Amino acid sequence: MHASKPTTSSFPRIKSPQPEAAALEKRPRGRPRKTDSEIDEGNRRRQLIEGAARLFHAKGYDATSTRDIAAAAGMRSGSPFYFFESKSQLLQVVMQQGMSQALQSQTAAMAALPEDCSASEQLRALIDHHFRVLLEPQAHFIPLMVSEWRSLTPEQRIDVGRIKDEYEGCWQPVLQILHEEGRLRADPHVARMFIFGALNWSVQWFKPQGPKSVEALVDEAMALFL
């Protein structure tokens, strides 16, 4: 016998979505896409920050005008004030962004180390990374922390200092282990301040074409601190 052909009523009917429901289904999930205007504003803001970082590093904060910063970004002289209340706030944002980027890259550098990495090897990785953010040709943000820290207001120093403390705090457990192993003779907290003072000052005397490479400086620093 041949099976009878099922009728249409044998299958459950699927209701077509209502117009409102269909519109909701097509609506993209997650954050709404930025408009062209928002993207353009974000790009101009980034250009101002990067241009200010280069100029503050090359000329100094006091010698750099907002007109200089606007010109470096290809904007009119009053444009920076559309994004920032003052030149001082722009310096603060430059330092905040620089420290945030340094913290992210430092975290990534440490995460890339083997799990059985010794404390000495971890310190070498931290020193190497810090020299990179200080001394590479495109490094403008972090050197400003050394040269222009006093140009910030007390409130701005507290704000930027939170990220700075988090960045430097990553060194403390490593120094503590080295101290317990007898490799680091000084108090770890004091040693950290000495170490950063020595490394940061390298921006004043290091020459890319000089006799020492960054890799050689890392070796010298390890021999000095341990």
Whether the predicted pLDDT of 86 surpasses 70: yes
Question: What string of H, E and C letters represents the secondary structure of 124-169?
Answer: HHHHHHHHHHHHCCCCCHHHHHHHCHHHCCHHHHHHHHHHHHHHHH
Q: Could you tell me the pLDDT band of residue 18, with boundaries at 50, 70 and 90?
A: low
Q: For residue 108, what are its two tokens?
A: 């990534």
Mean pLDDT throughout 200-207? 90
Report CA torsion sign: 171, 125, 197, 137.
Answer: negative
Q: How do residues 36-67 score in pLDDT, each as one tens digit? A: 444 566 688 888 888 888 899 889 999 999 89
Mind listing the domains of the chain with CATH numbers?
38-84 (1.10.10.60), 89-226 (1.10.357.10)
The stretches of the chain forming alpha helices (DSSP H) are 19-26, 36-59, 66-72, 80-83, 87-111, 119-135, 141-147, 154-169, 172-180, 188-200, 202-205, 214-225
How much is the average pLDDT of 59-88?
87
pTM: 0.76
Token pair 């330092």 is found at 95
Least Cα distance to 144 among 64, 207, 75 occurs for: 64
pLDDT at 25 over 60: no
pLDDT at 218 over 80: yes
pLDDT of amino acid 14 = 41
**At residue 9, does pLDDT exceed 50?**
no
Distance CA 150, CA 96 (A): 15
Quote the pLDDT of residue 123.
98
- The number of residues in the chain equals 226
pLDDT of 187 over the 90 cut: yes
pLDDT value, residue 37? 46
Q: What is the pLDDT of residue 15?
A: 46
Q: How far apart, in whole angstroms, are the C-alpha atoms of residue 200 and residue 122?
A: 19
Query: Which pLDDT tens digit goes with each residue over 122-140?
Result: 999 999 999 999 998 777 8
Per-residue pLDDT band at 28 (split at 50, 70, 90): low
Report the number of secondary-structure helices (H) and strands (E) in the chain.
12, 0
